[in-house]
Structure 1
Amino acid sequence: MKRILLMMLIIAVALLTACGKKTDHDKMAQSSNGTAEHGSHAGMNSSEEKGVPTSASWHFATEKPKPNTDTAITIQIKDKDGNAINKFDINHEKKLHLIVVSKDLSYFNHIHPEYKDDGTFEITTKFPNSGDYKLIADYIPTGGSATSQSKWVKVEGTVPALAEITPEESLVKTINDIEVTLTFDHLMADMDLNLTFNMVDAKTKEPITDLQPYLGAVGHVVILSADAEQYLHVHPTKEDAKGPNAQFMTKFPQSGVYKIWGQFQRNDETFIVPFVVKVP
């Protein structure tokens, strides 16, 4: 009798232990809810914040913006119940980063609306030509994590021919007398990778070692897929670097063509280095 009771007790303990364990599926489900790693954040119209889902309300001073004309834009960030979000973390010296790109990605602008309380940001900007533009608001609500919200806007007038978004064979550009070479340790979708901007003097080939902080870091990188649906905002792995290398780590979500904009500052002047790559 004692032996039977002992066997029943062992079986009960085993069952309780098994129920208390998380399955591999449970662990995967939890990890998939995390945010982007390595100083980059990704997504479009995403509300990945832990416990702070948000949305963005966009308002343009005119329903039909015109090219090369001041256009006032208001963005209000709200919670899931429609109430204004009032607190935001400072992310690289700003509460909100606004990325503006044309449909063919030939135009790029990284600007910073002014916070007006009650979850509202305001800015006045100009669109250079007629056509479609995508606006991406990038922010961190206090208590949450990095997220982005986007909006397409149509600028009135005759739309110029769209530029082709073609992968470049040579990833070397000269900007402001600086020769910039972009390299990858490997280039593959859905895999962490390092991208490195190496900078030398275009004439002397001497290494550039006097880069200045841009928004609190050696530089910033914005990446968009050719259809502007996949968005990555990447920060450097070593923020206080001064050159000749500025290294970033990110992950391309899927194969395809992407445009990369590296933003840096030297001699109190900000410069942008664009590249187009094909990710296998």
Structure 2
Amino acid sequence: MRPHLAWSVRPLAGLLAVALASAVAVLAAAPPAAAHGTLAVSTPAEGATVTEPPAAVELYFTEKVASNAYFTVTAPGGGRVDNGWSYGSPKPLEKPVREYFLVGGKFEPREYSTGFPAVVALAHLPAVGQYSVSYLSVASDGEAVRGTMSFRYEGGPTPAPRGWSPPTNQPDPALVAAVEQHGTSGHGSTSSGAGAPVAAATSVPPAAAPVAESGEEGGPGWLAWTGWAVAIAAAVAGFVGWRRRPAPAARARTSAGPSRQRGGSRPGGKGGGRGTAGRKATPAGPSASSGKGGGARKAGAEVTAESAPASAVDDAAPATAGGLSNTRLALLAGGLVVALLAGFGLGRMGTGGGSPAGATATVPAGGASGPALSAGDGHQHPAGTGPHSHPGDASAGQATGTAVSASGYTLQPAQRAQAAGATADYTFRIVGTDRRAATRFVVVHEKPLHLIVVGRDLSGYQHLHPTMAPDGTWSVPLKLARAGGYRIYADFSVTSADGSMLPLVLGVDHLVPGAHTPAALPSAAARASVGPFAVSMEGTPTVGVTAPMFFRISRTGAPGPAQLERYLGAYGHLVVVREGDLGFVHVHPEPELVDGAVKFWLTAPSAGRYRAFLDFQVGGKVRTAEYTLDVP
């Protein structure tokens, strides 16, 4: 008899009950994000094709835009065709828009059934093709409201009014300051390509999956209900299995091991499920183990129902009044938690938590185990995605790479210098808060990690793709011809603790010793020559506003556009770096050519000079066109 049996079981049972309750609470409460003043609908609609020239674009928001709101309309050739804007008359929305507000620490939904239009006049429509509309405003609560939408015009060209010239105005500095002061990304268009609605009927949180389509508005998909059904069934099965437990005489006995621990518990590791090396709890019969987060134990001595020696009975889990041992209680609780997590996971799959169409699910190089990761986030965004912040971004400015560490991850190079003209094996690790090298990366733009090298004078650009060893060490041959300072950026995405994709750009300095004279930044120009190719740039970068940028590539002396090949999942890859602090600017590519051009969405974080590097591929060879951008 051991007099403290009942005392030892009750705290354990209480702790397990608290754990179960916490798990249920966490799974049941996916907090929505606030989204205020969003764009609800537009005329023409997002992705629509019109044949008659519209006199204006009407954008209907869930509240009246600020008086100093900023709007642009860009024609296929990259020139602006907007001619001022004005308020319109509110009208009922055919489908209400739900937004969330944080009230007393809880998110409360509000539905908006009235659209407040901003009418952006069009001076003329000079060509057939895609017209892009960008907007920037501030909501009544201070949230930034910015984004983009596009429509296609298939009618005849219309002349510009007599004496009219394309506008060159920039956003009101007070508007830009208000956006930056709030320090948020705003809530722009949620469009995902041609034909997609401008705004969803329900604004959903970034950390939670979008609501799937179903018979009822805002209801979960059938997979969500299936997931919860699986969870309930698993819980019932676990309870039934416990009720059919063997007689007390057949309880598990523990074989001798290097250490002994009361109650069958093990110290948890990452995710709360991995234990340290020791004994492995297994039921009688075939061995069973759970996956990540489900209570897996490393190999060691085992607990069995048949073979344990009688001398080990003191280490066996003590019995409860009802005959339930601590070990069985822990297994039952763990099973219920796993069932809940599995059901939640299936539910997330049914509510849009999976990969978008065309995304590649992968387990990255290095043999990392666990569920596959998909490129559902990172820097691979749907066409027309509005500006938003990524962890490590400089406030709302979206200039990343100025820090070596962000969101608990640090770029650790093995060396910080090399000789000029020599090829060195550049090695580094991405280290997390646990001081261990990360090994699980999301494939974005067809690669798990992109390494960008730029001189501090914005020369010497290189775009490299290192390989990762199983221990998380990345390596790539690197040759730097000129002496001087360089900035090396690691552009990658990992999976955060809540299962969402965490995109990061970390930067570190690198030195090539020797005499160095910085190269002067070339003057801004809209045309660049790269070997036998001429590349023209169209569009106007604008502070704080998502502006479309077009690049047209032709072979010198040959008619028509060059036959571009896909490179990194699109027909071009654009890197933009700010002069001075070498901020790495966030850019969104369109996956397909638009009117024969490679199109990107660029948000200039501030006035100043930038260097843009366009990578494109023809005939299996990647070339780079370079531009200087002056943003007033």
**Which of 528, 532, 535 matches 1:173?**
528
* Partner Cα separation in structure 1 for residue 451 and residue 627 of structure 2: 20
* Amino acid of the structure 1 residue aligned with 2:518: L
Q: Which structure has more strand as a fraction of its residues?
A: 1
Tell me, yes or no, if the aligned pair for 1:261 and 1:272 is still in contact at 8 Å: yes
Q: Deviations over 1:144-186 (max 9, x none)?
A: 3211111111112222x21111432x311222322211011x3
**Which of 99, 102, 105 matches 2:452?**
99
Residue 589 of structure 2: aligned partner: 236
Q: Deviations over 1:180-209 (max 9, x none)?
A: 11011x33211111110012332134223x
Residue 146 of structure 1: aligned partner: 503
Give the aligned length: 254
Instruction: Sort the Cα spacing of 1:25 and 1:175 in 2 relative to 1 into closer, same or farther, 3 A.
Output: closer
Tell me, yes or no, if the aligned pair for 2:587 and 2:603 is still in contact at 8 Å: no
* Higher relative contact order, chain-length normalized (CA < 8 Å, sep 6+): 1
Residue 80 of structure 1: aligned partner: 433
Q: CA deviation at 1:106?
A: 1.7
Tell me, yes or no, if the aligned pair for 2:386 and 2:546 is still in contact at 8 Å: no
Q: CA deviation at 1:264?
A: 0.2
Tell me, yes or no, if the aligned pair for 1:223 and 1:261 is still in contact at 8 Å: yes
**Which of 475, 479, 482 matches 1:122?**
475
**Which of 501, 515, 518 matches 1:162?**
518
Residue 24 of structure 1: aligned partner: 141
* Amino acid of the structure 2 residue aligned with 1:191: V
TM-score (structure 1 length as normaliser): 0.80
Structure 2: runs of 5+ lacking an equivalent: 1-101, 109-139, 145-181, 187-204, 207-377, 391-398
Residue 616 of structure 2: aligned partner: 264
Tell me, yes or no, if the aligned pair for 1:212 and 1:242 is still in contact at 8 Å: no
Alignment of 1:198-209 (within 5 A): 198-208=552-562
Whether 1:58 and 2:413 are equivalent positions in the alignment is yes
Instruction: Sort the Cα spacing of 1:201 and 1:73 in 2 relative to 1 into closer, same or farther, 3 A.
Output: closer
* Partner Cα separation in structure 2 for residue 39 and residue 89 of structure 1: 22
Instruction: Sort the Cα spacing of 1:48 and 1:190 in 2 relative to 1 into closer, same or farther, 3 A.
Output: farther
Q: Compare CA radii of gyration and give the structure with the larger one.
A: 2
Q: CA deviation at 1:248?
A: 0.3
Instruction: Sort the Cα spacing of 1:68 and 1:39 in 2 relative to 1 into closer, same or farther, 3 A.
Output: farther
TM-score (structure 2 length as normaliser): 0.37
* Shift >6 Å, 4+ stretches: 32-37
Instruction: Sort the Cα spacing of 1:21 and 1:219 in 2 relative to 1 into closer, same or farther, 3 A.
Output: closer
* Partner Cα separation in structure 1 for residue 436 and residue 143 of structure 2: 33
Instruction: Sort the Cα spacing of 1:83 and 1:269 in 2 relative to 1 into closer, same or farther, 3 A.
Output: same
Tell me, yes or no, if the aligned pair for 1:230 and 1:253 is still in contact at 8 Å: no
**Which of 99, 102, 110 matches 2:463?**
110
Tell me, yes or no, if the aligned pair for 1:220 and 1:236 is still in contact at 8 Å: yes
Residue 6 of structure 1: aligned partner: none
Structure 1: runs of 5+ lacking an equivalent: 1-16
* Amino acid of the structure 2 residue aligned with 1:258: Y
* Amino acid of the structure 2 residue aligned with 1:167: S
Q: CA deviation at 1:25?
A: 6.1
Tell me, yes or no, if the aligned pair for 1:171 and 1:182 is still in contact at 8 Å: yes
Instruction: Sort the Cα spacing of 1:55 and 1:200 in 2 relative to 1 into closer, same or farther, 3 A.
Output: same
**Identity in percent:** 24
Tell me, yes or no, if the aligned pair for 1:102 and 1:108 is still in contact at 8 Å: yes
Q: CA deviation at 1:64?
A: 4.6
Instruction: Sort the Cα spacing of 1:30 and 1:67 in 2 relative to 1 into closer, same or farther, 3 A.
Output: closer
Instruction: Sort the Cα spacing of 1:207 and 1:26 in 2 relative to 1 into closer, same or farther, 3 A.
Output: closer
* Partner Cα separation in structure 2 for residue 92 and residue 18 of structure 1: 39
Superposed CA RMSD: 3.0
* Amino acid of the structure 1 residue aligned with 2:447: K
* Amino acid of the structure 2 residue aligned with 1:215: L
Residue 542 of structure 2: aligned partner: 188
Q: Deviations over 1:25-84 (max 9, x none)?
A: 6996775797877498741237666xxx31111112xx6511111222211111123122
Instruction: Sort the Cα spacing of 1:231 and 1:116 in 2 relative to 1 into closer, same or farther, 3 A.
Output: same
Instruction: Sort the Cα spacing of 1:182 and 1:78 in 2 relative to 1 into closer, same or farther, 3 A.
Output: same
* Worse overlay, 64-73 or 39-48: 39-48
Instruction: Sort the Cα spacing of 1:78 and 1:21 in 2 relative to 1 into closer, same or farther, 3 A.
Output: closer
What secondary structure is seen at the aligned counterpart in 1 of 2:474?
Answer: strand
